[in-house]
Amino acid sequence: MDTLDLLSYGFIQRSLIAGCLIALACSPLGVLLVLRRLSLIGDGLAHVTFGSAALALFLNQHPLIVSIPVVMAGSLGIMKLTERAHLYGDAAIGIVSAVGIACGVLIASSAGGFNVDLFSLLFGSILAISTTDVVLSAVLTSIVIGTVVMYYRELFSSTFDDQFARVSGIRTTRINALLVMLTAATVVLAMRVVGIMLTSALIVLPAVTALQIARSFKSSIVISCLCSLMSVVAGIFGALYLNVPPGAVIIMVNFLLFLASLAYRVRRSRR
């Protein structure tokens, strides 16, 4: 079966559209988080997503309905712990992450163990994406890109020098809260693409790939978006032809792009 035949199937069309939309949402957030040294927040919120997904299945509710507000609350919890408990970012992420995964295990065990739905959320089910997921992905991506464009100067300033941004009159606390809440919503939707266990990689890998070769902040965001889109498209088709899980292939394509960018940077530095 060739590529054109595959594109005639509705579930493949939905997976490509939703996957590309989530990739576009993850890319600018990934660059911002990596530069702020908060790249682990995606992994921490993914663990909270596991707990919220287990709670949704226990309550017999759609995972997105429960997960988005719960994970947003977790992201704000990380920020508040960093500000008020005077913890480093990685320590706050570790606390929230541990609580999230522990709650998920307790809820799943109370419900009689891990069922098929929770297993699919752990490792992704992009080929089973529904029309509702596509619409939600489109809405979220529009919000993320619109926010980055609207608050570009504030995000740029607070990312590279938070104290200078605060002195300049930028409400950095509000900007930081907006960033972590958008990250939380993106992490929840990304679990449908690559699964809870690999969500952090979808945020981090395109960003670090772009930072190897980009010459400016704007170009790093653009390159990150391109790398993320390439990995999603190549990952979906590669998984179909190889009959392997799409989420894992998407991450491996991202990793290969990172290795290529790293090799390019090393070669350029030797000239």
pLDDT of 4: 66
Is 162 in a helix, a strand, or coil? helix
- The rounded percent of the chain whose pLDDT value lies above 70 is 88
In a 13 Å sphere around the CA of 165, the CA atoms on its Cβ side amount to: 19
Say if residue 99's pLDDT is above 60: yes
**pLDDT for 1 beyond 70:** no
Q: Whole-model pTM? A: 0.84
pLDDT of residue 105: 79
Mean pLDDT of all residues in 168-173: 81
- In tens, the pLDDT along 29-55 reads 899 988 888 878 877 888 888 888 888
Residue 256 pLDDT level (bands cut at 50, 70, 90): very high
d(CA 47, CA 94): 10
pLDDT of 230: 92
Rounded CA-CA distance 247/239 in Å is 8
Q: Is the dihedral of CA 171, 175, 178, 181 positive or negative?
A: negative
Q: How many Cα atoms are found within 13 Å in the side-chain-facing hemisphere of 112? A: 4
Using DSSP, how many helices (H) and how many strands (E) does the chain show?
13, 0
Q: How confident is the model at residue 222 (pLDDT cuts 50, 70, 90)?
A: very high
The tokens of 66 are what?
């429960």
How much is the average pLDDT of 109-132? 66
**For residue 227, what pLDDT is reported?**
93
Would you say the C-alpha torsion 17, 30, 121, 246 has a positive or negative sign? positive
Predicted confidence band of residue 65 (pLDDT cuts 50, 70, 90):
confident
More confident call, 169 vs 234: 234
Which residue ranges form the domains of the chain, and what is each CATH number? 3-265 (1.10.3470.10)
Confidence class for position 208, pLDDT limits 50, 70, 90: very high
Q: Is the pLDDT of residue 151 over 80?
A: yes
CA–CA separation, 227 and 58 (whole Å): 37
